[in-house]
Amino acid sequence: MIADHQDYAKHVLNAIHHRRSLPSASMKPDPLKEEHLAAILEAANQAPSHRHTEPWRFRIYQSEAARDDLGQGLAKVYQSFAGPSFFEAKFKKTRLRPTLVPVVIAVICSPGEKANLPLYEEILAVGCAVQNMHLAAHALGVGMIWSTPGYYDHPELRELMEMAENSHFMGLLYLGYPACPFPTSKRRPLSEKTVWL
């Protein structure tokens, strides 16, 4: 039993320590295996939430047509949002990005209306769900990156995502198999972030 527990801990900690965001430009266009996508979504659904509100909601853009429509929609939102700061290159990148990966997932926080909880608790719960997804993706050899565009609260984006009035857009997850090794990075020492009493 102890050996099993230690082996389990080793795999969990390995995923935590080696998980890294993979730029969408470094992902293959190959379709994700259905069982991999299902496992990643189920990992999200196991996240903790106060009073079991489970506020995470996902819009999954998997078909080529859906991802193309998403790209068109995001580009239009960017154009409205940018105004005089509009850049043609940014517009084109926004338009194409969802079409270059096999799956894009929009993350939405839908607070429990009857739970009477602070909004930040619901947002934190969605963050936990996304972290679960990222760990599961890494364990399955799937690359992922969480992107939050500057126009995250734009009315046209809310319309594009068909969001309820009390919902909050939390970003887009781009998923795909790596076309190159996962990147490496270092964290600043834990001693800079802890106080022992």
C-beta separation of 51 from 174 below 8 A = no
User: b/e map of 69-88 (b: 16 or more CB within 10 Å)?
Assistant: ebbebbbbbbbebeeeeeee
Which whole-number Å values give the CA distances from 105 to 40, 79, 98, 171, in the listed order? 11, 22, 10, 8
C-beta separation of 103 from 172 below 8 A = no
Q: Is 50 labelled as part of a ligand binding site?
A: yes
Q: Is 158 labelled as part of a ligand binding site?
A: no
Q: Is 59 labelled as part of a ligand binding site?
A: no
Q: Can you say which residues are annotated as belonging to the binding site?
A: 19-21, 50, 146-148
Q: Can you say which residues are annotated as belonging to the binding site for FMN?
A: 19-21, 50, 146-148
